[in-house]
Amino acid sequence: MNKVLIVDDVPVSIKVLGELLKEHYEILVATSGSRAIEVALKNQPDLILMDVVMPGMDGLETCRRLKENTLTAEIPVIFLTAMSESSDVIKGFEVGGQDYVVKPFNKIEVIARVKNHMELRKSKEKIKQYALELERKNEELQQLLQKVEQIAITDFLTGITNRRFAIDRMNEELSRINRGEDGFSLLMIDIDNFKDINDSHGHECGDYILKDVVNLIKSVLRNYDMMARWGGEEFLVMLPSTEINDAKIVAEKIISNVRTQIFTYKGNSFHVTITAGVAQHQAGDDLDSIIKRADEAMYHGKKSGKNCVKNSCH
């Protein structure tokens, strides 16, 4: 049952209002402003009917203090007043009152105003709850969208970015270069004889090799370098602000890391090698042309015996 706090220093007024409302509401009473604040804090009424003129702290000051406290600020206050001048009514609204009833009050009017403000408060609470729920749902949706976006640009097996992200990132780099900033180099890397690994040791072993090779490559790269899985056992690395000779040194470190690593899977130990092609951005390059040169350099390395780095010849 909703609670109504009646605040009046005249016992007869409290009794009349209490009899009028007790059938539908739990009645709380206070005979002074200070006591009204204590009762409101302790019992959290749903509505306050408060006389304006009281000894000591009057109804206006009591209302102002209630509205200053976050624990009671949202409780609607209806003033009971014999003063019907507009200036008096405005004062009540200025301190936070929601409505007023002029004494001697009409019983039907009191019941109607109390009922209306109770329903209004319930509606406000529902709207508040809906707003909070909407905000929570929106946060969940944003988190879900972020996860979906991350999944869309991530290679599921290795955890690095995928071809789609790499293309977008390289296009951004091309735009940066067109604004006059430093160029970049690409490494196209392929695991040698990867099909033989899958055939001899199984695809689970192949997956293990892919993930381990990724970690070995990443250990050589800088934080702002970009690595993506380009194909099955093929990886692309973009090295911003890096000329081809420096890029070749990076590729040689990667190849050495992989070549000297002993891979162990289910009790079997073996070595793996990789081949890399290097290409540097040149004036007039678009994305396809520089990728093609890195790819051709890598295949030249394959034909030259694998386990090596080859520069693009132009």
Selection from 84, 103, 106 nearest residue 20 by Cα:
106
Question: What span, in angstroms and rounded, lies between the C-alpha atoms of 199 and 202?
Answer: 6
- Which of the residues 139, 233, 243, 252 is marked catalytic? 233
Let me know how long the chain is: 314
Q: Is 74 a catalytic residue?
A: no
Q: Which residues on neighbouring strands pair with residue 30, listed in sequence order? A: 7
Strand-pair category, 3-7 with 47-51 = parallel
Tell me which residues are annotated as active site.
233
